[in-house]
Structures are given as structure tokens and as C-alpha cells.
Amino acid sequence: MSSISDNRVNISNDNPSIVFDKSRCDECGICKNICKFNVGVYGYSDDDYPCINCGSCTIMCPHKCLSERDETDKLRNYLHSGKIVVFQIAPAVRVSLGEEFGFKPGTNVEGKIVTALKMIGGKYIFDTTFGADLTVMEEANELVDRIKKGIKGPMFTSCCPSWVKFLEMFYPEYISNLSTCKSPISMQGSIIKNYFSKINNIDKEDIISIAITPCTAKKAEILKFNDIDLVITTRELAKYLKEEKIDLKQLKDSSFNSLMSKGSGGGVIFGTSGGVMESTIREVYHILYKRRPTKRLLNFKDVRGLSNVKEASITINGVILKLAIINGTGDARKVIEEIKTGKVYYDFIEVMACEGGCIAGGGQPRVYTITNNIKLKRMNGLYKSDKRMKIRNASNNPNIVNVYDEFLDKPLSDISKKYLHTNYINRKEE
């Protein structure tokens, strides 16, 4: 265990997401300030090694002494294990991995990633936008249930594991306000092991399920479930491909494998701050009015962008719903304190720990300094893809309709709850 310092963040040796290399550290304090002011963790806990695994410090450390836990050796071993390797690619990876291979920030290289994953030995390559659509189906129905029962807000999103851990650590009294939905990668991981395996007559023990994500915290999240065997960040994937002498720029595009080949446009924008809110509200509208979401909801400007706290309201069935989108857990702390004193009220709140959402996740490339300009380019890459898609909300996605018909029955059914939902722990009492 490296000695504790007051000048930097302190990372324990058993942190599943982040490692620290003391040899290059000049104790500049940048990481500590990020963790304290942006993430809202440093200085708020008695723990010697408080951490929500977000990786924000790894993005900002000028000497790269803080990094994701490198599991590329594990990836290599799995790919040579003789087992069936199934990959899924999270939305934000497609608009950032290209930066490692000379593409402009925000370029969508989804088809080339599929080709590269096939080249290194992936048997099936799926798109996590499918898992994002599943999350929307479940979460939108949770919200509609609350509206119908007149339950007062806020309901919080739960797809960001760092935010979930933050709430468990600092505000466990709000655990019952958290959606019980697993994150998209974990929902999809569950479907791969429990449904995809069955219909393909594959023993689930023969499947190695690997998620490529922009997120260091997902490495910690998967320890809670048996759905996913390995999480590889965008940076680790770039490193692995370079070691294998694969240059993304030279590759042709390939398509995802069917069944979980596509999500809706709403699933794609999950990778950016405001995207979970926008997709869920599109679906809430669809559930209540049985109509395609309005033009405003298909281009919901109020919830987009990089402001620390974005607010919007919509009228559903005559009821005004107040919405907030919080960019970074540091601001979540401020908003929760205001909720507690009654200064503000919201019905539904999206929180992403990384400022900008997963496009600025802790496992994303460090080729460029992650300025707001780079974040906006990555965001726009996702919004452009959403706009181009014919299917813009989850329940119009035929792959989603199929998985409910064949396996899950309906949102919030017993079987959905078994495979797609979770519960939380009070970490304040740990």
C-alpha cells in the first residue's frame, strides 16, 4: 500500500478500477482537486482510500501516474482460451477510440471496431445500445408507475456505477429513490448468459462475456454480478489493438451480429450527459400516449450540453414533471443538499459522475486534453447518429420487442426483475 498523502488522491492496492504509480508523481494536487470539487469525494469521508472508481483523476493527471487497472493480459488469455468470446461495445466508445488512431474527435468508428474485435478473436460482437434500450424500457416503466401512483420524486437514474456508489456512500437515505435498473452493460450481460446462450444451445460456462466501455467504474460494478467476465476500457482496447499491429484506419466496416445488433437512437445517446433522460422521456411519452415522441422530445435541447445542472419540465397527462440532469457527482452533492432543505424539487434526475457523461469517462483516450470542445465533438458524434436512425425510441426497436416476447414477458415482470434489476447497500454503515 503506498503511503497516504495529503497532496493527492490515495488509491488502495485493491481498488478494482484504478492504479497509482508513485514513481512519477510530483504531488501537484490536480487529482485531489478534481476528486474534491468535481467528483465530491475527497475530503468527505473518514475512509483512508475513498473512491467511487470514476477515473476522473486518471484523465487529468499530467504524468499519467493514475490509470485504469490494465487487464489486457486477461483479455489476451480469454481470447486464447478456446471459449466463445462475446463482446459488447458501449455507446461512447465509438466516438472516441478513433482518436487513438488519428481520426478526428467525435468520428464514429463503430463499424471498424466490430471488424477489429472479430480480427482479435471475438465470435459475436453486440452493441450495448441494445442494453441501453432495455434500461430505458424498464426505467421508463418505473417512472410511469410512480407517476400513476402519485409517488413524489425524485427518482434517480442508476446506470452510472460511480454515481450509485456515491449515493450509497454519502446519501443512503435516498437508496429507495434510485431506479433498481442494472446498467446497460449488466442488463445485456445477463441477456447474453441467460437467453442468447439458451437459444444458441451454448453452455453459458463456455461463454466469455466482455464489455468494452469508456468507464473504469464498470470494472468494479461487474464484481457484483455474474453477468460479465471482463471490462476493457477504450484506452485498454487501443493498447491491445496496437500490440496486435491492428490499425483502425486501415480497416473496413463490419456489422454487429444480429439479436443484439442494434439499439434505437435513444440507446446511442446514452453515452452523453442528458442522453439517459432524453431516451427515458421519449419512452415515457410513448407508453402514455402510444404515439411517436414529439419533435421536441426527439431533439430535447433543454437536456443537452455541458452545463453542470440542466433543468427541463414536461407536461404528461396534465401533470408537470420537473427534470434535472447533473453533470458530475460534485454537483449532485450540491443538488441533494438543496433537495433536503426543500429549496428545489425534481421528479426525475439523471446523474453521471463524469462531466459530460460517458463520452468523458475515466477510461477514454488521453490523446487530446479533454477540453469542453473535445467533449462537445464526441457528444455531437452521438447526436448525429441518433438523428440518422429510423428508430428513435426503445419500444420501437424490433430486437427489444423480440426479447420481451420470447423471454422477458414485459417491463417490470418477475423475470425482468430477476435478470435486469438489482438492489443497493448502505455503505455509510460499512
The residue ranges that bind ligand SF4 (CB under 6 A) are 7-9, 18, 25-31, 34-35, 39, 41-42, 51-57, 61, 63, 65-66, 160, 162, 214-215, 217, 352-354, 357-358, 361-362
Minimum CB–partner distance for residue 56 and ligand SF4 (Å): 4
Q: Which residues contact 288 (CB under 8 A, 6 or more apart)?
A: 144, 316, 317
Owner of C-alpha cell 488469455: 77
CA distance 113 to 256: 10
Minimum CB–partner distance for residue 416 and ligand SF4 (Å): 22
N-term to C-term CA, the chain: 21
Nearer to ligand SF4, 146 or 310 (CB): 310
CA distance 220 to 211: 13
Query: DSSP secondary-structure letter at 181?
Result: B
Nearer to ligand SF4, 35 or 284 (CB): 35
Nearer to ligand SF4, 123 or 366 (CB): 366
Minimum CB–partner distance for residue 164 and ligand SF4 (Å): 9
Minimum CB–partner distance for residue 218 and ligand SF4 (Å): 6
Nearer to ligand SF4, 26 or 253 (CB): 26
Amino acid at 19: V
Minimum CB–partner distance for residue 258 and ligand SF4 (Å): 27
Nearer to ligand SF4, 29 or 121 (CB): 29
CB half-sphere exposure, 24, CA atoms < 13 A: 10
Burial 228-238 (b: 16+ CB within 10 A, else e): bbbbbbbbbbb
CA proximity to 233, closest of 103, 356, 69, 21: 69
Cβ atoms within 10 Å of 362's Cβ, excluding its own: 31
Q: What phi and psi, each to the nearest 5 degrees, are found at residue 241? A: -65, -40
Nearer to ligand SF4, 303 or 408 (CB): 303
Minimum CB–partner distance for residue 333 and ligand SF4 (Å): 13
